[in-house]
């Protein structure tokens, strides 16, 4: 099987803030077609800085990042925005227009698309996130938080970036709302082929949705691989102060009984239990 061509390649990326703080140290990372990635780790481990480097808001101090073959250091903001979209955690930071329509149209207008095309993209993005026409003339400020977040995502979608990074999409949401947002991102991934990266602290969400997990700590990448195998590396997780979901912890503590360290769901746990119990009875 051919390995998919990477869309984003980070090579030996180091990022230092102007005051000298090192936020990223020698990062090597690739994102390819079909990736649905969770970026996890403590606050301050470098997740957000890395994401901002990936979409060109920050330029690496050393090393380079290629997005779609373009070096972020020499690529304009406009060109980056249509390749990697970044949804900020707090929708209030990114809603600055006076109607929902203008808000979603803001990006397409910035890249100077013709009027008809702008309109088409706004309608499409609004439809994808489930905003109906009655909201178009409303002021984003007065919408409830859940809707504001959707407007924020739609405003990124309208630029049709191939890769979408969402910073803590489930923070402050209850479990049902979290699942709805994640199901929605999954649809974007499966039906429209976007590469999705979520930054999150919610391990059950990671276990349920992310096929691949990148674990960061101390400005470095500690682990990168299928979620199952990252969660199986208990010592590395402990070093990053990350606890896998409860069910995974249970399986790991009973690994000597035959449970897989990479168990991700209650369903998998039940199946293993039943086959182990049956074997014991036999």
User: 58: which DSSP letter?
Assistant: S
Q: Are 52 and 104 in contact (CB under 8 A)?
A: no
Q: Count residues binding another protein (CB under 8 A).
A: 64
User: Least distance to another protein from the beta carbon of 201, Å?
Assistant: 5
CA distance 231 to 252: 10
14 part of the interface to another protein, by CB under 8 A: no
One character per residue 26-65, x = contact with another protein (rule: CB under 8 A): ---------------xxxx-------x--x-x--------
Helix 145-157 to helix 175-192 angle (10° resolution) is 10
110 part of the interface to another protein, by CB under 8 A: yes
Please report the DSSP string for 59-126 in residue order.
Answer: --SEEEEEETTEEGGGS-HHHHHTTEEEE-SSGGGT--SSSHHHHHHHHHHHTT--HHHHHHHHHHHH
Which of 32/111 has CB closer to another protein? 111
Among 34, 77, 127, 275, binds another protein (CB under 8 A): 77
Return the number of other C-beta atoms located less than 10 Å from residue 258's C-beta: 13
Which of 34/172 has CB closer to another protein? 172
Q: Which residues bind another protein (CB under 8 A)?
A: 19-20, 41-44, 52, 55, 57, 76-78, 81-82, 85-86, 88, 90, 92-98, 106-107, 110-111, 141, 155-156, 159, 171-177, 201, 203-204, 241-243, 245-250, 253-254, 257, 265-266, 269-270, 273-274, 276-277, 280
């Amino acid at each position: 099987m051919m390995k998919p061509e990477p869309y984003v390649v980070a090579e030996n990326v180091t990022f230092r803030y102007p005051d000298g703080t090192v936020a990223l140290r020698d990062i090597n990372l690739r994102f390819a077609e079909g990736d649905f990635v969770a970026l996890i780790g403590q606050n301050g481990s470098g997740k957000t800085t890395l994401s901002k480097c990936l979409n060109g808001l920050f330029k690496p101090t050393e090393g380079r990042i290629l997005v779609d073959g373009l070096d972020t250091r020499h690529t304009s903001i406009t060109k980056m925005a249509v390749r990697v979209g970044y949804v900020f955690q707090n929708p209030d930071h990114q809603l600055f227009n006076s109607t929902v329509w203008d808000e979603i149209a803001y990006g397409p207008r910035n890249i100077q698309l013709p009027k008809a095309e702008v309109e088409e993209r706004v309608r499409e993005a609004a439809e994808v996130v489930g905003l109906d026409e009655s909201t178009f003339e409303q002021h984003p400020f007065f919408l409830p938080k859940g809707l504001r977040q959707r407007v924020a995502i739609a405003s990124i979608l309208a630029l049709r970036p191939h890769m979408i990074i969402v910073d803590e999409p489930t923070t402050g949401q209850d479990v049902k709302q979290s699942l709805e947002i994640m199901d929605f991102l999954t649809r974007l991934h499966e039906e429209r082929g976007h590469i999705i990266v979520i930054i999150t602290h919610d391990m059950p969400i990671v276990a349920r949705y992310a096929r691949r997990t990148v674990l960061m700590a101390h400005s470095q990448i500690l682990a990168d691989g299928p979620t199952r195998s990252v969660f199986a590396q208990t010592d590395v997780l402990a070093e990053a102060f990350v606890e896998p979901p409860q069910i995974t912890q249970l399986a790991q503590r009973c690994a000597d009984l035959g449970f897989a360290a990479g168990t991700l769901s209650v369903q998998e746990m039940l199946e293993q239990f039943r086959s182990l119990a049956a074997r014991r009875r036999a």
